[in-house]
Amino acid sequence: MLRDDQIVEILELVDFRISKSELGAFFRAEDHPNYVECGDQVLRNFLNGLVIHLRGTKENPKNPKEVLAKHKAQIPAKEGASERAEFKPKPKDEERARGDQKPGQKSSATKKKPFKKPAPKVQVVEKVKFNFGKNKKS
């Protein structure tokens, strides 16, 4: 995740000057009075700057994975957050961990209905020989 000052630095790599307030106007809600739609020129310059930022230039190439790792190290970790911010619910008891039934139901209380065999299919067309488009003379 890039901060506004990092985005300004990326845009400066392609000699495109923009202030933080102008940049913040792009990220406002659409109904906000100071909202500004991001134009093609800004987006084009940002993408070109991002390529230079991650890959470097021909004279001074960079490894994109190292650049991203450096950015990840700069982001302050939130208190109580684990290494990966994935949602994994922890069941409080075995009953809630079951996904096939509601928490209030007991497995012994629920009974399965017996499976009924469907009625046999009635053959509508009987004894038809298909030639698959070939005319056979026999």
Query: Is residue 62 a contact partner of residue 54, using CB atoms and an 8 Å limit?
Result: yes
pTM of the prediction?
0.52
Query: Pick the residue with more confidence: 134 or 54?
Result: 54
What are the angstrom distances between the C-alpha of 97 and each of 51, 94, 106, 133? 46, 5, 13, 58
Give the bridge partners for 61, in sequence order.
Answer: 56
- Count how many domains the chain has: 1
Q: What is the mean pLDDT of residues 49-63?
A: 87
In a domain, 30, yes or no: yes
pLDDT interval class at 42 (50, 70, 90): very high
Q: State the pLDDT at residue 85.
A: 55
In a domain, 57, yes or no: yes
Q: State the pLDDT at residue 65.
A: 85
Domain that holds residue 70: 4-74
